[in-house]
């Protein structure tokens, strides 16, 4: 794999905080079971929730769930079905804010959990930027491994769409 082939996307950042093996698989375009219940529910929520907002906005290699303006401020929103993965969702959104800042665009983030009627603000600050840089570096390290990291049984494995790649 060439170094210029892989860009750290929000999806890779999301998976990094859940499972490093998933990072390796996703970076190689090995996609999980498309009909997996959790993935279908996530797609449904993303399509139907927040109907008045501009959705699926692409900026370079990043794809935001939605954007909106509030009091003249750009808000990037990330829709998730559950706050169970709050750390992963926060880091995914922080990556978007970081990359926008690199382009000279100031924005705030908002995690949206429509099923829980919950909304969390995400702001980019110095320590979070440092964590993003460290995670991006490690994601690239993982993606350039010759073979995937060994599967590690964790708390997210039970409902994982990649389960067959690890435990079949």
The share of the chain scoring above pLDDT 70, in percent, equals: 83
Give which of 117, 116, 71, 120 is closest to 94, Cα–Cα.
120
List Cα–Cα distances, 46 to 4, 6, 8, 54, 78, in angstroms: 30, 25, 22, 11, 9
Single pTM value for the model: 0.83
What's the average model confidence in pLDDT over 76-105? 94
Predicted confidence (pLDDT) at residue 55 exceeds the cutoff of 60: yes
């Amino acid at each position: 794999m060439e170094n210029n082939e892989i860009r750290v996307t929000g999806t890779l950042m999301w998976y990094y905080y859940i499972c490093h093996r998933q990072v390796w698989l996703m970076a190689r375009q090995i996609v999980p079971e498309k009909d997996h219940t959790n993935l279908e529910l996530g797609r449904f929520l993303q399509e139907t929730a927040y109907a008045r907002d501009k959705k699926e906005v692409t900026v370079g290699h990043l794809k935001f769930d939605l954007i909106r303006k509030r009091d003249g401020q750009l808000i990037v929103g990330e829709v998730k079905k559950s706050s169970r993965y709050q750390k992963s969702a926060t880091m995914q959104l922080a990556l978007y804010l970081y990359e926008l800042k690199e382009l000279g665009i100031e924005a705030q983030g908002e995690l949206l959990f429509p099923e829980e009627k919950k909304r969390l603000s995400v702001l980019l600050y110095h320590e979070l930027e440092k964590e993003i840089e460290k995670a991006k570096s490690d994601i690239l390290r993982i993606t350039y491994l010759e073979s995937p990291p060994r599967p590690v049984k964790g708390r997210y494995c039970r409902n994982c769409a990649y389960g067959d790649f690890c435990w079949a």
